[in-house]
Structure 1
Amino acid sequence: MRSSLIRNTKRALLATALVAALLALPAASQSGKLPKTQLWMDVATHTMSGVPGMGEMGGGVGGFAMRMFGGDAAQNHYGAAQQPGMPGRYLDVALLNQLNPGAEAEDLIPTGMQLGKTLPLVPPKAQAPSEPGGKATYGTADGNAKARILIYWGCGTEVRAGQPREIKFEMKNGKVTTSGTQYASAMSGRYAPNRDAKVDPRYALWPNEKMRKMVPNGASLVGNHDIEGAKIPESMKFDLTQQQDFMPAIALSSSGALATGQTWNWKPVDRAKGYFLAAFGTQDDAMVLWSSSEVPDAGMQIIDYVAPSTVDKWIKEKVVLAPTVTSCAMPKGIFAGKNGEPGGGMMSMIAYGPETHIVYPPKPSDPKLAAAWNPEWNVRVRNKSTTMAMLGMPVDAGQSAQQDGQQQQQQPTESKGKKFLKGLLGR
C-alpha cells in the first residue's frame, strides 16, 4: 500500500510541473518614493505533517533531505523561506544599499538567534545568460501528449453541484490545444501579488556561500538588529518583537479516509491572519486539484506571503478561511485510486502571518513636513507558517510540534523518517 502511495505521489509531483507552467504569470512592478537603503526579511516556519519519524530527527531533517538533493552545500540557500519545503525555521535577508550597491554588509543579530554574533550579507554572483538549448520534447517520444485536469473546491465531504471543472490539454506536432468547461476562468486564477525583492548582484543576501547554517529550532529574531557596512546609514538599527518572530508550526491532524472524505484539523496558530489549504493528486489518468476556497479560482499559487490587507479582502470573498476556523474536509472520493488504493498526492496549508514595515526617520504626521520627508532606510518583515502532508496518510498534530521543538541530537542509526524520505525521493 505504501509503495503504491509513494509511486502515485511521485506521479502527482511530476504532473504538477505542467500545471505550474500553465499558471505562470509575470511579476508585478511597484513604484513609489523609496529610501536609498532597503532591507527585506522573509520569516517562515515549515513542517511536513504525518511523515513518520520526523520528530525523532529533530531540526536535522531539513539538512538531511537537502543534502540528499545536493550535498552539504545545499544545506541552506537564499529563497528557502519562499517555498514550503523541509521542516525547519527559515530566514531570507536581502539588502539593497543604493549608496554602495553590490558591497558586503552584516546584520549584528541578537543572541537568541543562536547563529553567532553576525549574519554576513553577501552579493550573489552574476548569472551568465543561458545558452539556447535544443527543442524540448514532452509527452511521448514523438512529442505528443494529452493531459486532463479536474478542479474541485470548498470544504465539505460532498462534491458540490457544478464540480469538477474539467480541462483537457493536447499537444500534437508542437501545438497545444485546450478544451473543457470555463477554461479561461479556471486558469486565470488568483495569485499572490509578487512583492519579493528582485535580487541581482547589487543586493547582499543571507544565506550565502559564506554562511549556510540552518536556523536552529527554538531560535528567535526578537531583539536588536544592527546593519553595518560601507556607506550603510549609521542609524540603521531596529528592534524586532514577538510580532515579527518565527510563527509556531501548524499542529495539523487528520481523520477519515480519501474514499469517505479526509478531514483536516488544526490548532489556532498564533498571529495567523487566515488559513488556506490546497491539494493535488492523481485519479486514473487525471490530475486532480482541490482548495479550501469557496470560489473556484484559487489554488497553490496563493500559498505565499500575502499582505494582511489582501488576506482580509480574500476572507470577505471566501477565498481564505478566517483565523477562527480550525477544520476543513475534502470531498470524498476525489483523490481515491482504483481498488481502494490512495490515488497519491500532497496537501499544502499556509497560516498567513503579519507584515511589518519599519522606516527611519518615521513619516511626519504634519502634511507640510511629510512633503519634505526623505527617509534614510526602511525594513519589511513578512511572516508565515506552512505545512505539507501526504494524502491518505494519518496525521498526528503532535508530529508538527516535535519538528518545531527543541533540536535533538541525531541518532547514528538510520531512522524511520530517513527511510521514508529515501523511499519518497527514490534514493
Structure 2
Amino acid sequence: MRHTCACILHGSQKSIHAKREKMTTTTRFTLTVLMSACAIGAHAQSRGPAAQYWVDLSTTNTSLPGMSGGGLLGSIIGASMGGGSGKTLDAELQVRAHPSGVEASHAIPAGLDMGASLPLLPVRPAGAGRGSDRHEAGDQEKPKGRILLYWGCGDNIRPGQPKVLDLAKQNYGEFTQFFGSRGGYSKGVQHKPGNSVWPNERDSKRVPENASLQGEHAVAGDGVPASLKFSVGAANDFLPPVRLSSKGAPKDGVRLEWQAMQHAQAYFLHAQGGAKGANGADDMIFWSSSEKPDNGWSLMSYQSPAQIANLLQQKVVLSPSTVNCTVPKGIFDKADGAMLNMIAYGPELNLAHPPRPAKAPAGWQPEWTARVRIKSTGMTMLGMEGGAGEESAGQRDNATETPNPINLLKGIFSR
C-alpha cells in the first residue's frame, strides 16, 4: 500500500510541477483525496492488537534401546534429535507499542510448579556473523547415493514404491518435488527480534515432569492491556508422552503400537535409516505412515486445526482412534538400523479479547490475541525391543565420522 501511494503521489506531483500554472480546483481536490487515502492506508497497516501472545507446549519421549554403531544412521540421529525426554514450554510476546521489545511477566498457575511467574525478556537482533562457513565449489565433493521414499502402513510394500531421488543427478525440479510436503504452517513462538520470550538468559529453568498449564494466566508489562488474562483447561494442557512399542524385525515387518491420547487430534509416524547402495554409496531410506507419498519433514511439528482436518481428509495423518501401524517388510531389512519418530498433534487454543462481534466493522481489531499450541513426540529404534538405553561416548564419536545427511542435501544447491 505504501509503495503504491508513493508511486501515485510521485506521478501526481510531476504532473503538478509541469502544469503548476494551470492547476484547477479539481486537480487540487484529487491530490488531497489521494494523500488522505494514503494516510488512512498507512494507519491501517500500523494497526493490530496491542499485544499478541504465543505459548508452545511440547512433550518429548526419547527411547533408544540397544543402539549400536554409527555411520550414516548415527549422522541421521544427530541431525534429528532435538534433546532428551521431558516437557518444554516456550512463550513469546509481541507488544505493538514497543517494537524493540519490553520486559514483561507471565503469571502462571501453581500447577505449573515453576514459581509465581515467568519473566519475558526481549530478543535482541543477532550480531554480525564471524565469517561464512560456505565452501567454494571446488572444495565440495559431488553428492552420491540415493534417497528412497516409502509410505503407508501395511504388511507389504505397495506397488509403485519406492520413489527414488538420485543425488548425483542434481535435478533441482525433481529435488523440489521429492521434498514437497503437505505439512502446513501454524504461527507460534519464533524468537523474533523485538519480541519478548521465555526461556531466556535470566530464567531458563526446566519444566517439571508434573507441570500442568491448567488454571488462570495473566501477562503484564508496559503496553500490554490489563485485560490480557486467560484460562487454560484440561483439553489444552500438555499431552502425555508417546508410549510406543515395536515388535518384529524389518525383514518381516515391524508392528507399532501406542497408547491413545485423550486430547490428540491425529498421529503421524516417520522412519529413516541408511544402507549401502549397489555402487557403494550411501542410500537414505525414508518411510511415513501417510497414505500419500510424503517425506514428512514438515509434518513433525505443530499443525493448525484447519490443516489437521485437511490432512485427515487426505489420509496423510492417522485418525486419533488409531493405535497401531505396521511398517511393511523389506523397507529397512538392509539398513544398519532405523530411527522411528512419532508425533501426536494436540488441539490449538485461540483466544481474543474482546471477542469478535457478529457484525464486526471493517478494520475491527481485538485488544489482544493469544494462542497455545500442543504436541507430543517420541523417538526410538525401529524393530528393537527392550528398555531405554543411552549411546556410549564411543558411539557418539563414531556418529560424527560420516557427513551429516542434511549437509549432504544442502550441498546440491551450493554449486
Name the TM-score, length of structure 1 as normaliser. Answer: 0.72
Output aligned runs, 1:18-33, within 5 Å.
Answer: none
**1:214–1:197: structure 2 CA closer, same or farther, 3 Å change rule?**
closer
SS of corresponding position for 1:351: strand
**1:225–1:134: structure 2 CA closer, same or farther, 3 Å change rule?**
closer
**1:289–1:383: structure 2 CA closer, same or farther, 3 Å change rule?**
same
Equivalent position of 1:319 in the other structure: 316
Equivalent position of 2:55 in the other structure: 41
Deviation at 1:47, TM superposition (A): 0.5
What one-letter code is carried by the residue in structure 2 that aligns with 1:426? D
Instruction: Provide the rounded CA distance (Å) in 2 between the counterparts of 1:236 and 1:264.
Output: 43
Stretch of structure 1 that moved more, 37-46 or 144-153: 144-153
Equivalent position of 1:275 in the other structure: 267
Is residue 2:402 matched to residue 1:426?
Answer: no
**1:32–1:291: structure 2 CA closer, same or farther, 3 Å change rule?**
farther
Output aligned runs, 1:145-156, within 5 Å.
Answer: 145-156=143-154
Is residue 2:343 matched to residue 1:344?
Answer: no
Instruction: Provide the rounded CA distance (Å) in 1 between the counterparts of 2:294 and 2:102.
Output: 43
Show CA shifts across 1:254-300 (max 9, x none): 11111111111011112111110011101213100000001113412
Is residue 2:328 matched to residue 1:331?
Answer: yes
Are the equivalent residues in 2 in contact too, given 1:361–1:376 (CA < 8 A)?
yes
Show CA shifts across 1:306-347 (max 9, x none): 01221111111111111111111112122123xxxx522211
Instruction: Provide the rounded CA distance (Å) in 2 between the counterparts of 1:179 and 1:200.
Output: 31
Deviation at 1:373, TM superposition (A): 4.0
Name the TM-score, length of structure 2 as normaliser. Answer: 0.74
Instruction: Provide the rounded CA distance (Å) in 2 between the counterparts of 1:133 and 1:251.
Output: 42
Is residue 2:368 matched to residue 1:377?
Answer: yes
* Percent of paired sites with the same residue: 37
Equivalent position of 2:191 in the other structure: 199
2:356 aligned to which of 363, 366, 378: 363
Show CA shifts across 1:337-385 (max 9, x none): 3xxxx522211111111001111111122x1x55474311110001111
SS of corresponding position for 1:122: strand
Is residue 2:379 matched to residue 1:388?
Answer: yes
SS of corresponding position for 2:129: coil
Q: Aligned pairs, how many?
A: 337
Are the equivalent residues in 1 in contact too, given 2:246–2:383 (CA < 8 A)?
no
Show CA shifts across 1:215-256 (max 9, x none): 000111111111111222111111111121101111111111
Deviation at 1:141, TM superposition (A): 6.5
Instruction: Provide the rounded CA distance (Å) in 2 between the counterparts of 1:104 and 1:179.
Output: 45
Equivalent position of 1:90 in the other structure: 88
What one-letter code is carried by the residue in structure 2 that aligns with 1:362? P
Are the equivalent residues in 1 in contact too, given 2:56–2:373 (CA < 8 A)?
yes
SS of corresponding position for 2:179: helix
Instruction: Provide the rounded CA distance (Å) in 2 between the counterparts of 1:142 and 1:373.
Output: 54
1:289 aligned to which of 263, 286, 299: 286
Aligned-residue CA RMSD (Å):
2.8
What one-letter code is carried by the residue in structure 1 that aligns with 2:194? R
Equivalent position of 1:266 in the other structure: 258
Equivalent position of 1:124 in the other structure: 123
Equivalent position of 2:206 in the other structure: 214
**Unmatched tracts of structure 2, length 5 or more:** 1-44, 68-77, 277-281, 399-415
SS of corresponding position for 2:310: helix
Equivalent position of 1:23 in the other structure: none
Equivalent position of 1:6 in the other structure: none
SS of corresponding position for 1:41: strand
2:304 aligned to which of 304, 307, 328: 307
Are the equivalent residues in 2 in contact too, given 1:83–1:304 (CA < 8 A)?
no
Are the equivalent residues in 1 in contact too, given 2:61–2:379 (CA < 8 A)?
yes
Output aligned runs, 1:1-12, within 5 Å.
Answer: none
**1:167–1:370: structure 2 CA closer, same or farther, 3 Å change rule?**
same
Deviation at 1:137, TM superposition (A): 6.3
Stretch of structure 1 that moved more, 186-195 or 88-97: 186-195
Equivalent position of 1:16 in the other structure: none
Q: Which one has a bigger Cα radius of gyration?
A: 2
